[in-house]
Amino acid sequence: MGYPVNRLKELRDSKNLTGVEVAKAANITPQYYYELEKGAKRLNEDLLRRFAKYYSTTTDYILCIDCPQPPCGDVVMESPENFNSEGKGEGLETIIYRAVKRALDERDRHRDGQ
């Protein structure tokens, strides 16, 4: 059984780092680090705080506390009828606007250290 989803891989990739580099900085083995990324090992409080400091982010962000279901990493597709501007459902422009606004809001939250 895996542990909750986390953003370690996403954060590592965003900084163009290897798992070996991150593991060395965290003073753990690369194998253990990769198992943390995959959710095969539990991310303990000490490591969680070290990763948050290392990536200049929050523990909540790493743990996907702000993620809607399904967990982060999965793409939530709008229902096909929402792409039809006729009848019920939203138009494509509204869907795109909402997605861009969400992304900008998330960027601002993380920039402000929340």
Q: Where are the domains of the chain?
A: 1-72, 77-114
**Collapsed DSSP state (helix, strand, coil) of residue 73:** coil
Output the pLDDT for position 73.
44
Output the pLDDT for position 36.
94
Output the pLDDT for position 35.
94
Nearest to 36 by CA among 18, 48, 49: 48
- CATH code 1.10.260.40 for 1-72: yes
Is the model's pLDDT at 69 over the cut of 50?
Answer: no
User: Is there a contact between 2 and 39 (Cβ–Cβ < 8 Å)?
Assistant: yes
Predicted TM-score of the model (pTM): 0.56
- Greater model confidence, 3 or 82: 3
Nearest to 6 by CA among 59, 75, 85, 76: 59
